[in-house]
Amino acid sequence: MFDDINAYFHENVWTTYKSYSKGHKIPQAGVSELLKLSINFATVLFHLKEHIPKEKQKSKKQLVSICSDYKLLADVVNVSKHKTITNDFPLISRAENIYEEIVITEYTDNLGTFNHIENRVCIKLDDGSEHNFHDIIINVLNMWLVELNQIGVIGLVKPIKLRKTRLPRRSKHSGKLNFSAIQRVRFKQTLKMQKYNYDKRCIEPIDLTGSQFKMNVYAPVHECTLTLKKPDSGEEIIINISLTLEQKQQLTKFTNDSDRLLFLMKLAKEQGRVF
């Protein structure tokens, strides 16, 4: 990978982008997965300059003149590594000002109101302004796509779009977000609520002054599929069985299929799946 800049781009930069892009779309929060993916990809983009042949390299100052977000991305990468930074007049000097934020946006369709939920990485600069880190990352990636094409490393690649132009539609996933937590580790989450103004065609913040929130937490449920065959016809019957974490752990302890089958059949009868 390190012997060839074209290979480095495809095997490291582009594959890391795909992992980041996939993780960015997963509706999940709680253990900083998106934050880790974002910092990892930002680090790759920041250090890409050092892998370009010396005769074709641009300085950090030159890259910032092409894409001002390269300076901000560099500060985020450095502060995430060192916790605090002071050199080179950083735009963000404290790592705790990089955090995940759950954004709930209210929309309306012919069935009424519904919520679209997404998790994003927010960066709060020293001047108090807040930015969606995804926009910074994509802007820098698009800069590199142009730069690498101009010096003959890669072919022409269309710029990555920041946002979809269409409004989200109601789906079975609307208003849902999976949470994960680590036992005996603090759970910290930032929440932002907003709504789409159809008259002005823009998103506006919702004033939450005096509001109260309620969150229900349920024990995770695991599912297991049991396939049985009727002895007379050979017809297959598929049974879905729900298991608690303890039951799942107990199932893994069995050493033979007979014990596993008896255990699952017992659960199926208790859950009314078979009679």
Instruction: List residues bridging with 24 in a β-sheet.
Output: none
For residue 217, tell me if it sits in a domain.
no
For residue 26, tell me if it sits in a domain.
yes
Range of the domain at 160: 5-205
For residue 229, tell me if it sits in a domain.
yes
The confidence score (pLDDT) of residue 128 equals 96
Q: How many domains does the chain have?
A: 2
Q: Are 63 and 148 members of one domain?
A: yes
Q: Are 236 and 193 members of one domain?
A: no
The confidence score (pLDDT) of residue 52 equals 94
Q: Which residues, 6+ apart, have CB-to-CB distance to 247 below 8 Å?
A: 222, 267
Q: Which of 116, 122, 101, 256 is nearest to 192 (CA)?
A: 101
Burial of 20 (0-12, 13-18, 19+ CB in 10 A): buried
pLDDT in tens, 72-104: 999 999 999 999 999 999 999 999 999 999 999
Provide the token pair at 100: 């995940």
Q: Are 107 and 242 members of one domain?
A: no
Q: Are 164 and 89 members of one domain?
A: yes
pLDDT in tens, 173-193: 888 888 888 888 988 888 899
Q: Which residues of the chain register pLDDT less than 50?
A: none
Q: Are 250 and 130 members of one domain?
A: no
Q: Are 134 and 24 members of one domain?
A: yes
The confidence score (pLDDT) of residue 220 equals 66
